[in-house]
Structure 1
């Protein structure tokens, strides 16, 4: 039992460290990975929408400066506006912080205002009418506001990722510190474990081995000390009981042999 307890204790001590490392680091690492993936996906959608709106603004600015309006250019602007009107969708279960969600909502609303304004101008051009003076400039102002909102959302996203990275670095630092403490404690426990095993296992086994050697040589008076009540202690008790029984039987056989010799001598004298 002592050896089993020592082995189980050492196994539990050694196995607890990997579990601690896993649960301590995995949570911030998984959170960082999920947030990075979600932000990258939403960021790509925002970038595509912003790019389409910016190209549409450029096309309309060029059309506004021309005396004639080519149909191909109007068709290209219409396709760009349709792309730019698609809202940015943020899944409800995405790993995105509330502050970033609000920033994305403001960005999406600003882009929608630009897209609606562009759609109105494109509709006039499709109907053969030019936009009123200054309307393209107003759309450019709205586009600058949308760009500012997009940059602000990017800053919030960067700050969120930096905060998650900082949490991961803190967890890694704590794990490194705790691992060093764990290893030092383990090193300090090794002499104690060796002492326990030597005292409770090796010494009783060595004494039993010496006792068996004495019995093999014919010494039935040998007794081994009993140090504990564990399995080895019970083996020592059984060994002592066995040698006691063997010694008693040897004494009885010796007495019977002596009595036999005495009777044989008496019978010989009587016959003579």
Structure 2
């Protein structure tokens, strides 16, 4: 493995800095602006005292329930496919599948855990939109009275948004491509476009149904982004760079684009700094 240049190091830390700024922006948007309510107002009908699209079949059943089931089926299908790839000893594809499986399940699990412990209620449960609950900003030091009026909560971050955003690991595959010995650009664009489109659909459908505020889905995006980036770094460093890729007779002498043998462990210079 070639030593990273100063420019590559700055890019890595720049990614971390961008994530920190994005996290601060989400908190600012929720606490100090009315953007959340302005967006929700677009889809709320004061005449009906409800969100008209909340129970529409295409929104509730097709793009909410069935998309959630589809994402679950895709995860298990990828798991079976990964096991099949390992059986036929196609190491590059196997490593790629393991990385996406790990990053996706961690993203979904973390979002789900935080949601179950959340005090924040959904827009359709708030008094502003015909419900009974009181709105609480992020990191608000709530009193006992505030908590008694906050309702059932469990609406932050957006759990359904993670149905699409859990697959953000696909966008980070280029970060570990060299270690995976994966052909450059192969299916990457198609998979990336599919993930972005799926993420947009699941995020927007929750906004139009009144299920979540904009800050809720952005928080899910931030969490899945952080988890995917972290797993891509840890996976490449610990599970690929320091391990010997699978070798088999038909490719025992194969080399990647850098001229490195696919059957040799990739070494890391001792003076190379750790990068995100």
TM-score (norm 1): 0.26
More helix by share: 1
TM-score (norm 2): 0.25
